[in-house]
């Protein structure tokens, strides 16, 4: 075991990548759902490319893992000088075992992950067994191919892989000596064993201590007498890189392939990522970046620049620190203002909006006007799909429903769900087109573009002191939303790609996209209204007024969905046209309060609903789960977990306080029955929090929203909701 651990000591980064692969593919629900999306007949029939790319990625990852493991061991294991021949033989066996294990590890882990995904969802996709068998057969064939490529030919004992790059006999000999192939070679001889006091030792000759110095080795220093024993003289020889010509040639080929893949993926667009799929992208990333790490390690060990010794790993670290300081981070996209659109303060906007509603719907003085304020909790596509699909189905049944929605306040993915529903063209409100369009949108693969840019473009951008938009994963996510919007809403203008300012108007509902300012911790919003003195710290919190920028609709939505590390914080420069700029950063609104009700409460209070006796407000809250406030007691690593849990649970406490404040306000002015909570009662294993939902997961959301529409779940709350909707003027 000690030998095994010693051999593995320089493989810590590679072992970390393998552990990350186990977590990504086997443990977290998001990884399982990604694999499930490949096993579904609908996905496979419409696009079988992801499976092909997965096999190609596993092949690259396997070869990269085996070579990098072996090459790192060659460079770092110099234990042969002090071990007995028996221990050297045992350590060589350990090296071969580790290299062979990592040759097959990628195929094994992905196979197990596919099997887990299938049987965990067996009741819903039992008809997909043939796809699972096809995938496993493909991986088995791939592993057989790897075995044939790497196993020794029994006749000539040569590996079958890369015939034109076989190691020479000298290379094989010296890579197996456990001397560290790029370390200087040392020879110690007693004075009596040195012939005629020569400066250099004979080459290709066995010396008195058993050493044999190849002719290619270059004398670096010597003879030098040891201080402790002056009768012993030492020669140091430098092993030139050309001595391991074929080994380094193999490595150069791998490095070139890795850099080619990195550059292609770094500049790739949304459609290419979606064709390849997130699983294959992650496997390609593991293959490429372990080669890059091995390259840096090689430069440190080999010191290829003559007469100059450089600490390459330290230089890379210092360069990364400099680029982190100089880089312009992740600036948001902004566009030139088409016109000077004037927004109104909230109270004036509501007055104009309600007047417009009364005129268009022809409400009479005696009529009760139901008005809806909708909030949606964070949770990526989990909450977003639930929110948007239920609202779309209600809109299909009650075509005038959207007219009576005054306010949307969303957090993270819930904000995406609300804004997608708001952006639906009015002309699709027939024959269930809203729900069909919504389902198609949320079945889109938003994860692959984000993953591709995260593991390739963003890593590459860390080495540049300036921002490259093509590498930005946040921009990739926004463009994926835009592409999906126009693909499911053909023959319409792409609302997500247009300016958010187009949502300003007396006939438009109030939109509040919640985010948090990192520098101050303040909850902030991007809104199509103007916050006034009725809202606390309104000038600092109203980002659109603060920065005076026009940005795409998708960018505005993404301001509130930046939950690192999947999405980076958004950078906006204050005083952009002045010499001194202040860079401010904005992250997911859920860091402060994950319900979205705080804005709604402030807005309701600021518009003074008591001045509108005909208005009856309803607060509709979409929740991530039935109850996310129940927390388990801390029983392990108390001193650390007490602090971490305190930070994490603070946002839940703020949400609880906001919910209670909303109840108190409604109790004092209206009725608490007008607060309607809609909970998503699907386990996170069946419906993960992710930017990709399998068709199976979407079927679960579809079925659950159908059950709400049929009053089979949350019947009292939904009945109250429908009763209010029925009061809308047709």
- What b-and-e string marks burial along 235-266, b requiring 16 or more CB atoms within 10 Å of the CB? bbbbbeeebbebbbebbeebbebbeebbeebb
Q: Name the DSSP class of 617.
A: E
pLDDT at 160: 56
CA 352-356-357 angle, to 5 degrees, is 120
pLDDT tier at 661, thresholds 50, 70, 90: very high
Residue 525 pairs with which residues in a beta bridge?
514, 542
196: left (phi over 0), alpha (psi -120 to 50) or beta: left
Cα–Cα nearest to 10, from 295, 320, 317, 294: 294
Residue 728 has pLDDT above 70, yes or no: yes
Which tens digits make up the pLDDT trace of 617-660?
A: 999 999 988 765 556 677 777 778 788 788 778 888 888 899 99
CA 145-150-154 angle, to 5 degrees, is 110
Residue 389 has pLDDT above 90, yes or no: yes
Average pLDDT over residues 437-455: 94
CB 271 within 8 A of CB 250: no
Q: Quick check: bond before 223 cis, omega within 30?
A: yes
- Measure CA 240 to chain center: 42
pLDDT tier at 427, thresholds 50, 70, 90: low
Domains delineated in the chain: 2-167+244-299 (no CATH), 184-238 (no CATH), 346-628+652-725 (3.40.1090)
SS (H, E, C) 261-321: HHHHHHHCCHHHHHHHCHHHHHHHHHHHHHHHHHHHHHHHHHCCCCCCCCCHHHHHHHHHH
pLDDT at 222: 78
pTM: 0.90
Cα–Cα nearest to 588, from 517, 659, 680: 517
Residue 705 has pLDDT above 70, yes or no: yes
- What b-and-e string marks burial along 625-643, b requiring 16 or more CB atoms within 10 Å of the CB? beeeeeeeeeeeeeeeeee
Neighbours of 98 (CB within 10 A): 18
Question: In whole angstroms, what is the distance from residue 673 CA to residue 692 CA?
Answer: 35
Of the given ranges (216-225, 465-474, 499-508), which has the lowest mean pLDDT? 216-225
Per the model's pLDDT, the better-predicted residue between 322 and 730 turns out to be 322
Which tens digits make up the pLDDT trace of 86-141?
A: 777 887 888 888 888 899 999 999 999 999 999 999 888 877 889 999 999 999 99
pLDDT tier at 163, thresholds 50, 70, 90: low
Residue holding tokens 């529903």? 421
The greatest distance separating any two alpha carbons of the chain, rounded to the nearest whole angstrom, comes to 120
Residue holding tokens 């946040």? 474
pLDDT at 660: 93
Average pLDDT over residues 1-12: 72
Residue 472 has pLDDT above 80, yes or no: yes
Residue 599 pairs with which residues in a beta bridge?
none
pLDDT at 586: 94
Which tens digits make up the pLDDT trace of 306-364?
A: 778 889 999 999 999 999 888 878 999 988 776 677 899 999 999 999 999 988 877 77
Question: In whole angstroms, what is the distance from residue 342 CA to residue 501 CA?
Answer: 9
Average pLDDT over residues 416-444: 86
Of the given ranges (156-165, 167-176, 405-414), which has the lowest mean pLDDT? 156-165
Residue 582 has pLDDT above 80, yes or no: yes
Half-sphere exposure in the Cβ direction for 446 (13 Å, CA): 31
Cα–Cα nearest to 161, from 254, 57, 294, 284: 254
The pair of three-digit structure tokens given for residue 302, joined into one six-digit string: 């080999």
Question: In whole angstroms, what is the distance from residue 330 CA to residue 564 CA?
Answer: 12
Q: Which residues contact 561 (CB under 8 A, 6 or more apart)?
A: 380, 412, 413, 415, 416, 477, 567, 588
Average pLDDT over residues 146-156: 70
Element (H, E) at 218: strand 218-225
C-alpha torsion sign, points 24, 27, 31, 32: positive
Which tens digits make up the pLDDT trace of 190-212?
A: 887 776 667 888 888 888 878 88
- What does DSSP say about strands 582-588 and 675-679: parallel, antiparallel, or unpaired? unpaired
Q: Which residues contact 174 (CB under 8 A, 6 or more apart)?
A: 181, 239, 243, 244
For 225, the 3-state DSSP assignment is strand
Phi, psi dihedrals of residue 558, rounded to the nearest 5°:
-70, -15
Reported residue count of the chain is 730
CB 595 within 8 A of CB 410: no
pLDDT at 26: 92
Residue 83 has pLDDT above 80, yes or no: no
pLDDT at 628: 53
Question: In whole angstroms, what is the distance from residue 182 CA to residue 75 CA?
Answer: 6
The pair of three-digit structure tokens given for residue 330, joined into one six-digit string: 């992740």
Cα–Cα nearest to 411, from 718, 624, 634, 679: 624
Average pLDDT over residues 43-59: 88
pLDDT at 48: 81
The mean predicted confidence, pLDDT, of the chain is: 88
Question: In whole angstroms, what is the distance from residue 596 CA to residue 516 CA?
Answer: 12
pLDDT at 308: 83
pLDDT at 161: 54
DSSP states of 427-494 as a string? GG-STTHHHHHHHHHHTS--HHHHHHIIIIIHHHHTTSSS--GGG-HHHHHHHHHHHHHHHHSTTS--
Residue 165 has pLDDT above 70, yes or no: no
CB 585 within 8 A of CB 327: no
pLDDT at 52: 93
Which tens digits make up the pLDDT trace of 222-272?
A: 788 888 778 888 888 888 888 998 899 999 999 999 999 999 999 999 999
Half-sphere exposure in the Cβ direction for 699 (13 Å, CA): 12
Question: In whole angstroms, what is the distance from residue 550 CA to residue 556 CA?
Answer: 9
Which tens digits make up the pLDDT trace of 539-556?
A: 999 999 999 889 999 999
Instruction: Provide the percentage of residues in the chain whose pLDDT is more than 70.
Output: 94
pLDDT at 632: 67
pLDDT at 156: 56
Half-sphere exposure in the Cβ direction for 617 (13 Å, CA): 30
């Amino acid at each position: 075991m000690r030998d095994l651990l010693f051999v593995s000591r320089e493989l810590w980064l590679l072992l970390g990548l393998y552990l990350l692969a186990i977590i990504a593919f086997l443990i977290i629900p998001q990884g399982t759902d990604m694999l499930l999306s490949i096993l579904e007949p609908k996905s496979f029939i419409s696009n079988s490319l992801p499976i092909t790319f997965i096999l190609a990625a596993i092949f690259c990852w396997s070869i990269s893992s085996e070579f990098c493991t072996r090459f790192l061991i060659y460079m770092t294991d110099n234990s042969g000088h002090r071990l007995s021949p028996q221990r050297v033989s045992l350590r060589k066996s350990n090296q071969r075992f580790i290299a062979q294990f990592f040759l097959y590890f990628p195929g094994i882990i992905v196979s197990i992950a596919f099997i887990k995904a299938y049987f965990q969802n067996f009741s819903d996709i039992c008809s997909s067994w043939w796809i699972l068998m096809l995938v496993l057969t493909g991986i088995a064939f791939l592993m057989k191919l790897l075995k044939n490529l790497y196993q020794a030919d029994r006749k000539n004992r040569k590996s079958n892989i890369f015939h034109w790059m076989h190691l020479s006999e000298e290379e094989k000999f010296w890579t197996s000596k456990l001397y560290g192939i790029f370390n200087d070679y040392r020879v110690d001889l007693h004075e009596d064993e040195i012939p005629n006091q020569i400066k250099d030792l004979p080459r290709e000759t066995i010396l008195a201590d058993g050493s044999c110095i190849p002719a290619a080795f270059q004398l670096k220093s010597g003879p030098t007498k040891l201080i402790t024993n002056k009768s012993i003289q030492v020669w140091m020889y430098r092993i030139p890189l050309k001595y391991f010509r074929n080994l380094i040639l193999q490595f150069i080929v791998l490095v070139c392939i890795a850099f080619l893949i990195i550059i292609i993926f770094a500049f790739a667009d949304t459609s290419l990522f979606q064709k390849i799929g997130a699983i294959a992208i992650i496997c390609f990333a593991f293959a490429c970046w372990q080669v890059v790490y091995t390259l840096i390690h090689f430069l440190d060990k080999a010191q290829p620049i003559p007469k100059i010794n450089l600490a390459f790993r330290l230089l890379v670290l210092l360069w990364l620190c400099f680029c982190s300081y100089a880089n312009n981070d992740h600036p948001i996209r902004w566009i030139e203002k088409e016109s000077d659109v004037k927004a109104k303060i909230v109270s004036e906007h509501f007055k104009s909006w309600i007047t417009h509603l009364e005129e268009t719907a022809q409400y009479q003085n005696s009529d009760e006007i139901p008005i809806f304020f909708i909030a949606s909790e964070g949770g990526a596509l989990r909450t977003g799909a639930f929110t948007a699909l239920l609202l779309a189905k209600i809109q299909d049944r009650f075509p005038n429903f959207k007219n009576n929605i005054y306010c949307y306040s969303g957090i993270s993915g819930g904000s995406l769900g609300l804004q997608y529903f708001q952006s639906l063209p009015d002309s699709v409100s027939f024959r269930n087109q809203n729900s069909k369009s919504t389902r198609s949108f949320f079945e889109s693969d938003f994860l692959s573009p984000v993953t591709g840019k995260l593991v390739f473009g963003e890593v590459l951008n860390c080495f540049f002191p300036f921002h490259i938009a093509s590498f930005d994963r946040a921009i990739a996510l926004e463009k994926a939303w835009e592409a999906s919007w126009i693909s499911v809403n053909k023959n319409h203008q792409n609302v997500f790609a247009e300016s958010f300012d187009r949502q300003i108007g007396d006939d438009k509902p109030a939109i509040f996209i919640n985010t948090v300012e990192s520098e101050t911790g303040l909850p902030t919003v991007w809104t199509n209204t103007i916050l006034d003195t009725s809202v606390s710290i309104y000038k600092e919190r109203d980002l659109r007024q603060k920065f005076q920028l026009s940005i795409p609709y998708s960018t505005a939505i993404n301001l509130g969905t930046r939950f690192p590390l999947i999405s980076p914080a958004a950078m906006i420069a204050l005083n952009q046209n002045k010499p001194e700029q202040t860079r401010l950063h904005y992250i997911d609104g859920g860091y402060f309060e994950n319900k979205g009700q705080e804005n709604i409460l402030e807005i309701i209070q600021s518009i003074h609903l008591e001045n509108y006796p005909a208005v009856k407000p309803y607060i509709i809250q979409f929740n991530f789960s039935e109850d996310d406030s129940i927390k388990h007691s801390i029983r392990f690593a108390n001193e650390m977990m007490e602090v971490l849990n305190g930070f994490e649970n603070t946002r839940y406490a703020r949400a609880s306080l906001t919910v209670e404040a909303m109840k108190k306000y409604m109790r004092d002015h209206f009725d608490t029955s007008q607060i309607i909570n809609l909970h998503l009662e699907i386990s996170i294993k069946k419906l993960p929090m992710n930017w990709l939902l399998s068709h199976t997961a979407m079927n679960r959301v579809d079925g659950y929203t159908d059950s709400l529409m049929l009053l089979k779940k949350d019947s009292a709350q939904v009945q109250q909701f429908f009763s209010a909707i029925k009061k809308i003027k047709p």
